[in-house]
Each structure stands twice: as structure tokens, then as C-alpha cells.
Amino acid sequence: MSAKDNFLKVKHLYNRAGFGVSYADLQKLSKKNLDKVVDNLLKDSLKNDPINLVNDYESKRQLLVQAGLYSKKDLTDEEKKMRQQIVREQNEVSRDLNIAFITKMINTDAPLREKMTLFWHGHFACRSNNPFFAQQLNNIQRANALGSFKTLLIEVSKSPAMLQYLNNQQNRKGKPNENFARELMELFTLGRGNYTEQDIKESARSFTGWMYDKDGSFIFRQNLHDPGTKTFFGKIGNFEGENIIDIILEKPETSQFIARKVYKFFVNDNPNEDHIKELATHFYNSKYDIGSMMKKMFTSDWFYSPENVGTKIKSPAEFLVGLSREFYVTYNKPQVLIQLQSSLGQYLFNPPNVAGWPGGQSWIDSSSLMLRMRIPSLVLNDGEIDFSGKADPEDEAVIALSRTATTNANANMKPKSYVNANADWPKFLDTLPKGLTPLELTEFLLQPKLNAKITTMVSDNKGLRSTAVEITSMPEYQLC
């Protein structure tokens, strides 16, 4: 294999398995055998470094206060203020958590673990007003990102964020709530068409009593659990939640469903059934070892075949993280990262619904593409942005409260604001070899093969910095 060939493969690997790679690292890595590079990538991601932003103690205190206020009918003015204060604090901390996650992706030295966390973040899609719950779920997804899918599934299912989001708090003996049981099978494991309505009904009974208590810890409430006999996929027994998960994992359809989703996220929007089958079989035989499936994928020849290189549309998170990582960007007002995520259609921790973000071409419409093409000059050249975007539906109460009688509707229309970010150009330029030409930089920054138009466009470029801004503003940069 030629050195150039390996260079491109490693670059592809790091674009898909991580969030890109610096030129200097790429040069070093591509001297190694590709299997070694994959091993390295997995080894770097052994480290699990959770987000510890949200204070456990303070969150528990808030939960108790909230529970107390919730049970009261008439609140004093003092109590109302207290409740509002908690909501305000939670909103603020939720924003900080969002920034912590995206910043972690930008700075991580365990790129595959963070990329997988992003994958599970979309797979086990969840919204929680409580930032402690949201952080906990994010940490579960990170800790188990490359481990056992079974452990991941059980921990997610027992997390207060998910129990709340899918109404399992209301799932009680005699009054089952089927929401969790349905999404468990439809979206988390088997996929539509691989179970019956009866399977949902019966398994919902098994999950009765799976709840979280006043201070936000999982608790199995025996007295609310339906201990009766259930029939699930033809099996009869006094199944509890864990038994249901075991039966679901015995079905190869689960491995196929996850493998397909992994393939579409890491390889290609258009599924190749043979490759998916290969992955699924490996996943099933390895007893749902996620890391092992990832290694299998990254060491398969087809992962590097031309139809899979430079052909995927970056998600907004991949786009923002990749750009920020490449150029060592510091955001002086990190809230702008939330505004950008929201305008581009991927507001982390706020998926559109439990099915997650649909991805692929749905990321792109006229306005999101125009914005993507402007962002590099905004971020890297400190340009201004006149984009106010839409309010998130969950923020409506805040908007309603903040609006006085005189402000007009859509008061969220802000004047132009600066992104206020700094790229570390010296550091970026330092990673490049001496004498690198603008054309070579272009080849490095873009994943799709260069065509005559781009080659001509950059051929008379002088500076690397202006070339970089230009290249990252191209439609080709939207692909990885």
C-alpha cells in the first residue's frame, strides 16, 4: 500500500470515527499499518472521562423542593418565586451542560468514545428539564459507549431521564403505561415490524414499578409491580424488566437493527445489506460487544471503498466540532454554540422526539446550507451573524414570562451579533509541514476528491489561512 493511500485511509478513519485529525498527527499515524491505527484509536478511547458539571447535592435539594411544592395546591408568593428560581437555574445549567458536551467533543483525546457517545445520544434520544438527569444519561452513554450493549440498554432504561421521558413513572400495576415498552422495541432494539402490540402490552406490565425516587435514584417499587404471568414472544413467565431485555437481545433482529443504524451513522446513508449483515452477525456472536463491532467495521476493506469516503453529510455537531477542533477555536461567548446548533437543526440534549435526528439529507435545506457556508468565515474570521432563529418550544414559558406589555412578538429577533470566537492560527499553521501548498491544504481539509473547479479556484491562492477559510466554506466541506 502506498504511503499516500494510507494517508487518505487514516484521514477517513479519523473523520468518521472521530472529529478529524491534525495534519501532524495524520502524518505520524499514516506511517503505521492501518490495523495498528485502529487499535490505537480504540486504545485512546479506553479512557472514560465523565462530565461532572451538574452538582449532585444541589440537584437533589431542588428535586425535594420541587416535589414538596408540587404536592401543594396553593403556593405562597415566596414558594412561587422559589419554584421559578429552580426552573431558571435548571435552564441555565442545562445550557452549560450542552456547552460542556460540545466542548468535550472539541477537546477530547478519546475521539471514538465521544463520537460513539454522540451516536448513543441520538439513538437513546431523550429530553429532560433536569440537567442532572440529562448529565447522568449522557455519562451512561459515554461510559458504555464501546462496552456491552446490554449494560448500556439496562442502565439507560433505569435512568431517571428516560423513566421520566417515556412515562415509566406512570407505569403501574393495573394501570400500565406502554410508552417505554413501545419505544424500547420500536426505536431502541428490534425496530418496527418485529414485535406485536400484544408483546408491547405484556412487556409494559414487566416494567411496572421501574421508577426513580424523590432524590433521583432508580428504585424498583415492588408494590406497584405487576408480578403476574406474562406472555412475551411466545414465552410464558413472571417476567420482570431484565428478563424482557434478555429476550429482546436473544433475537438477532436487535443486532441487525443496531448494526444498520451504526452503519448509516459511520459508513453510508444508503445501507449495504451484505455489510450490515456482516456487522450484525459479529455483534450478535460477540454478545453485543460494541467496541468489537466497531473494530470489525473499521478494519473492513469496504469501510475505505470510494463510495464510502467523502460522501456523508456531516451532522451539525460533526460540522461544528470538526471546524472548532481543526482550528483550535475558542468561543468567548460559548452560548453561540447553542444558537448555531439550534439554527442548524441539532440542538444537543433536545432531539425532535424519541426517534432522534433523522440525519442525512434532512440536515440540509436552503437556509441551513447557506448558514453552514457562512459559519467558517464567522467563526474563523470573526464575522457577524444576523440570524435569530426560532425559539425552542420548551422555551416558550420563558418567552411568555419575559415579555412585557410593550415588547412586540418575536422579540427574539436580535440585532446582529458577533460570534466572538478566536481561531488559533499560529497553532494550526504549526501543525502543517513546511512548504505545504494551498492545493495540498485543500486536499487535506476536504474529504471528497478534488475536482477541476476547486483545483482552479485555489491554484492561484497565496496564503494558507485565506485558503482554509475559503475551503471550509465550500459545499464539499459539508461532507465527510
Partner 1 sequence: MNRRNFLRNTGFVAAGSLFVPAFMKPLEAMALDELSLYKNLVVVQLSGGNDGLNTVIPFGNDIYYQKRKSIAIKPEEVIKLNDMQGLNPNMAALQEIYDQGWMTIINDVGYPNPDRSHFRSMDIWQTGSDSNQFLSTGWIGRYLDSNCQTCKFPYTAIEVDDSLSLAMKGQTKKGIALKDPAALFRNTNDPFFKAMLQNDKEHLDEDNLGYLYKTMIETSSSASYIQNTSKIYQSKSTYPTSGFANQLKTVSKFISSGLKTRVYYVSLSGFDTHVNQIGQQGNLLKQYSEGMAAFLKDLKSNNKLEDTLVITFSEFGRRVEQNASNGTDHGTANNMFVFGGKLKKQGIFNAAPNLSDLDTGDLKYQLDFRQVYGTILDKWLDVNNADILNKKFNTLDFI
Residues 349-368 that bind partner 1 (CB under 8 A): 350, 352-355, 358, 360-362, 364-368
Minimum separation from the CB atom of position 139 to partner 1 (A): 23
User: Mask 174-213, x = binds partner 1 (CB under 8 A)?
Assistant: --------x----x--------------------------
Determine the 3-state secondary structure of 205 from DSSP.
Answer: helix
- Give φ, ψ of 159 to 5 degrees: -80, 135
Closer Cβ to partner 1, 369 or 439, answer by number = 369
Q: Using the rule CB under 8 A, is 457 a contact of partner 1?
A: yes
Minimum separation from the CB atom of position 100 to partner 1 (A): 22
Q: In this chain, which of 209, 322, 389, 438 binds partner 1, going by CB under 8 A?
A: 389
Closer Cβ to partner 1, 294 or 469, answer by number = 469
- Judge whether 464 and 455 are in contact, CB under 8 Å: no
Q: Using the rule CB under 8 A, is 1 a contact of partner 1?
A: no
The residues in 276-315 that bind partner 1, with binding defined as CB under 8 A, are 311-313
- Judge whether 316 and 345 are in contact, CB under 8 Å: yes
Stretch that binds partner 1, among 38-46, 249-257, 323-331, 381-389 (CB under 8 A): 381-389
The residues in 20-49 that bind partner 1, with binding defined as CB under 8 A, are none
- The whole-angstrom separation of Cα 347 and Cα 343 is 8
- Judge whether 124 and 38 are in contact, CB under 8 Å: no
Q: Using the rule CB under 8 A, is 335 a contact of partner 1?
A: no
Q: Exposed/middle/buried for 303, CB within 10 Å: 0-12, 13-18, 19+?
A: buried
Closer Cβ to partner 1, 83 or 277, answer by number = 83
Compute the C-alpha angle 12/17/23, nearest 5°: 50
The residues in 78-107 that bind partner 1, with binding defined as CB under 8 A, are 80, 84
β-strand pairing of 330-331 with 417-418: unpaired
Minimum separation from the CB atom of position 394 to partner 1 (A): 6
- The whole-angstrom separation of Cα 67 and Cα 35 is 53
The residues in 124-183 that bind partner 1, with binding defined as CB under 8 A, are 127, 182
Amino acid at 388: S
Q: Using the rule CB under 8 A, is 420 a contact of partner 1?
A: no
Q: In this chain, which of 65, 399, 429, 432 binds partner 1, going by CB under 8 A?
A: 399
Closer Cβ to partner 1, 155 or 470, answer by number = 470
- The whole-angstrom separation of Cα 441 and Cα 22 is 11
- Judge whether 137 and 128 are in contact, CB under 8 Å: yes
Q: Using the rule CB under 8 A, is 334 a contact of partner 1?
A: no
- The whole-angstrom separation of Cα 336 and Cα 76 is 37
Q: Using the rule CB under 8 A, is 469 a contact of partner 1?
A: yes
Q: In this chain, which of 383, 422, 432, 436 binds partner 1, going by CB under 8 A?
A: 383
Tell whether the torsion through CA atoms of 200, 202, 206 and 209 is positive or negative. Answer: positive
Residue among 435, 313, 304, 301 at smallest CA distance from 7: 304
Q: In this chain, which of 403, 424, 427, 430 binds partner 1, going by CB under 8 A?
A: 403
Amino acid at 95: R
Minimum separation from the CB atom of position 197 to partner 1 (A): 11
How many Cα atoms are found within 13 Å in the side-chain-facing hemisphere of 104? 25
Q: Using the rule CB under 8 A, is 466 a contact of partner 1?
A: yes
